Structure 1
Amino acid sequence: MKNRCYPKRLGWLMLLALGSCVDPYRPPEVTAPDSYLVVNGFFNSAPGTTTTIQLSRTQNLTDSKTPPAETKAQVTIESGSKVSYSLKEGSGGVYTLSGVVPQANETYRLRIRTAQGKEYVSDFVPVNVTPPVDSLSWRIENEGVQINVNTHDPTNNTRYYRWEFDETWEYTSPYYSAYELKNNRIVSRAEDVYRCWGSSVDKTIQLGSSARLSQDVISQRPLTFITGTSLKLGLRYSIQVKQYALTQDAYNYYDQLARITQNVGSIFDPQPSQITGNIRSTTNTSELVMGFFRVGTVQTRRIYIAKTQLPYWLTQTGVYTCLVDTLTPSKIIERQPAIINEFDASTYLTTSFDCVDCRLRGGVIKKPDFWDQ
């Protein structure tokens, strides 16, 4: 099945970010009259998991709104032995399937019928069993922390890999705030805004292959580098990596997609070209479809890095000036500053809110459920 992404004859279309797999490519701003289906799908064969297929549409670079979701579609997964499973529509063009585990020796394909009567179908693809992540290693280099992934397949059957990761970090504000002003009264602070947890999801395409090696081993494959002064290393940092086994066709698709979406920046970089996936339109063979349908398992691994394990690096909190003043209650009501603590019987230590409220640097005060593991 042929799916053509970024064809030259489209002009310069913006490729939507496919879940956590793709960064949008932003070439010179032009317009294009057509909108094409974007399919982000992975049939998860791990027991107890939910399969999610997300459908959306491309849009012009001039459009500032959220990319339109493809809703009210009929989405099914079909096996080579002609068993069909219907996905349930949720919100925002997300379709899910629970309680179904793909059979190891079976093949599957995705079928989509939109509310407008257009039909799309993928190739039949095998179930890729992903080997475990052997380890996530890190080392100190270049005044920062380099994190790598290691894995292998003793059967030498995988050869092609893809990784996704998300990060979580714990940090604090420069000052602890014990009081706050409410209804012109100084009261004990109801919420602790001193300690926060930030998070991010990597949106690059991370690939690796052992196809040219005698053994199916991936050793010290770089995932991410964190500058030593980064807020991510403020107190404690965690990274969770997801590993997927790919077919060679899927690897080639993501590799070409990565070259276009992540490397274009000069005339010496790869230029936009046609990308062939495994989904096509059955109602209009010339219509373009963006995406690659896969079936398989996913392996995960998480590590933690504490500040105490690192050299003394001065964390850049984003707050460069914290002027502290002593004010009386009447002045506090007049100026509305952040209150640190009592100074004496009649005055309080005060500063700016970005010096006491960690949420102003993008974090949340609720500790993640996994954090103490």
Structure 2
Amino acid sequence: MRRLLFFLLFLPMACIDPYVVEVEQGEQLLTVEGTITTAPGPHVVKLTRGDTYGSVFQGLVRPVRQATVIVRDDLGNVTFLRESSEQSGDYLTPAGFVAQVGRSYTLQIQLATGEVYTSLPERVETVPEIQNLDYQVVRIPVEGEINDRSGVQLLVEVNDPSDQNNFYFWRTGVSTFILKTRPDLFTPRPSDVNPSRDPQPKDCCDTCFQSEAISNQGIFIATDDTFNGLSTRIPAGFIEDDGIRFVETHRAQISQISISAEAYRFLRLVKQQTEISGSVFDPPPANIRGNMISLDNPNEVVLGYFMAGAEARSEIYINSTELEFQQPVSIIPDDCRVLPNTSVDPPVDWNP
């Protein structure tokens, strides 16, 4: 039997050739994201190219560099944007540039390869002030997890004007909060220079002020179809509790921006697509065209939207003792000054 098995090992065996799937390279779509407002700048226009699909999933989103980007108003005034030296593909307006209510603005782009793109005009409408900014704790159950996700939902009170149809867009600004760390627990990583795994406490510092640009968790928009001319309270932002941001005092900022009806419809479609549940009843995802077009090839699909609007800002201080639910505190075993955007001194305008 052993000889038979040994003999069978040397018999020719059938080989299975691997099936090579040839996937057509996806089209690289230009994406434009930018908003100019009546608030002080600089305002940012971000240019990227993304692959729709492909066989190599590396670098799918690439910044578009060395483009010429300008903003032109309906009076013919031209403002050139400069490319950021810190973030490739970001183009910044001059610091003193602000949009003007009643003016219409067009974004124009010429790539280094010569292609030219333009947006449709966006008119800046007035925006009411934020009458009051409040918050509430929101808990989000997570399937398979014991602890809920949670965070602070920002609520704005707006007195909507009755003489026009208003479209609102909200985005969070820079948050500043008291950061607590544990330098007494500092333990360096073992190395040839320092092979010890024992804690080496640092003398300073356990309390800093950290600033963080927090992106809104979702798209917050509204139209006044149901509250035209009335005062209303609307969810306008959400800041997730990561166990660090709400340990003590947190200052949150919110911007309320007037947008065009076309911009509202675009954001509503994006919001609907990002909130699909994944069931068979969901509409299939699709590229949503914005207000950018190619002057060389009108059939080219350009993603994103260029918006212009008036902006009103407000801020609120959130004390951790007033939150009815918080995440467990995250331990940071180091000097708080080694973390980015921190200072042991409070901001000059810190006034909780």
TM class by smaller structure = 0.7 to 0.9
Matching residue of 2:7: none
Matched, 1:34 2:34: no
Q: Given the superposition, is the C-alpha separation of residues 294 and 245 from structure 1 closer, same or farther in structure 2, using an over 3 Å criterion?
A: same
Within the candidate set 178, 194, 200, 1:170 is matched to 178
Q: Given the superposition, is the C-alpha separation of residues 137 and 277 from structure 1 closer, same or farther in structure 2, using an over 3 Å criterion?
A: same
Q: Percent of aligned pairs with the same residue?
A: 22
- Kept in 2, the 8 Å contact 1:170–1:197? The answer is yes
C-alpha distance in 2 between matches for 1:83 and 1:226:
41
Matching residue of 1:307: 320
- Kept in 2, the 8 Å contact 1:240–1:302? The answer is yes
Once the two structures are TM-superposed, the CA of residue 112 in structure 1 deviates from its matched residue by 0.9
Post-superposition Cα deviations, 1:148-167, rounded to whole Å, max 9, x if no partner, equal 22223335435211111144
Within the candidate set 317, 320, 324, 2:329 is matched to 317
C-alpha distance in 1 between matches for 2:110 and 2:225:
37
C-alpha distance in 2 between matches for 1:170 and 1:163:
25
Local SS of the residue matching 1:121: strand
Q: Given the superposition, is the C-alpha separation of residues 36 and 372 from structure 1 closer, same or farther in structure 2, using an over 3 Å criterion?
A: same
Once the two structures are TM-superposed, the CA of residue 31 in structure 1 deviates from its matched residue by 6.9
Local SS of the residue matching 1:251: helix
C-alpha distance in 2 between matches for 1:179 and 1:51:
40
Q: Given the superposition, is the C-alpha separation of residues 242 and 102 from structure 1 closer, same or farther in structure 2, using an over 3 Å criterion?
A: closer
- Name the larger-Rg structure: 2
Once the two structures are TM-superposed, the CA of residue 207 in structure 1 deviates from its matched residue by 0.9
- Kept in 2, the 8 Å contact 1:149–1:223? The answer is no
Local SS of the residue matching 1:277: coil
Letter in 2 for 1:208: A
C-alpha distance in 1 between matches for 2:62 and 2:138:
43
C-alpha distance in 1 between matches for 2:151 and 2:43:
37
Matching residue of 2:59: 65
Local SS of the residue matching 1:128: coil
Provide structure 2 residue ranges, at least 5 long, that are not aligned to the other structure: 1-22, 140-149
Matching residue of 1:372: 350
Within the candidate set 124, 148, 157, 1:127 is matched to 124
1:348-363 equivalences under 5 Å are 356-357=333-334
Letter in 2 for 1:134: Q
- Kept in 1, the 8 Å contact 2:243–2:330? The answer is no
1:271-286 equivalences under 5 Å are 271-286=284-299
Local SS of the residue matching 1:232: coil
Matched, 1:161 2:168: yes
Letter in 1 for 2:126: V
1:1-373 equivalences under 5 Å are 32-46=25-39, 48-60=40-52, 63-65=57-59, 67-91=61-85, 92-98=88-94, 99-139=96-136, 146-157=153-164, 159-166=166-173, 167-173=175-181, 177=184, 189=202, 191-193=204-206, 197=210, 199=212, 200-215=214-229, 217-221=231-235, 223-224=237-238, 230-311=243-324, 315-318=327-330, 356-357=333-334, 365-367=342-344, 369=347, 372-373=350-351
Q: Given the superposition, is the C-alpha separation of residues 144 and 36 from structure 1 closer, same or farther in structure 2, using an over 3 Å criterion?
A: closer
Local SS of the residue matching 2:257: strand
C-alpha distance in 2 between matches for 1:146 and 1:125:
30
C-alpha distance in 2 between matches for 1:140 and 1:74:
44
C-alpha distance in 1 between matches for 2:200 and 2:49:
51
Once the two structures are TM-superposed, the CA of residue 97 in structure 1 deviates from its matched residue by 2.3
Post-superposition Cα deviations, 1:112-136, rounded to whole Å, max 9, x if no partner, equal 1111111111111211232222221
Local SS of the residue matching 1:147: strand
Provide structure 1 residue ranges, at least 5 long, that are not aligned to the other structure: 1-29, 320-353
Once the two structures are TM-superposed, the CA of residue 235 in structure 1 deviates from its matched residue by 1.5
C-alpha distance in 2 between matches for 1:37 and 1:226:
31
C-alpha distance in 2 between matches for 1:80 and 1:196:
43
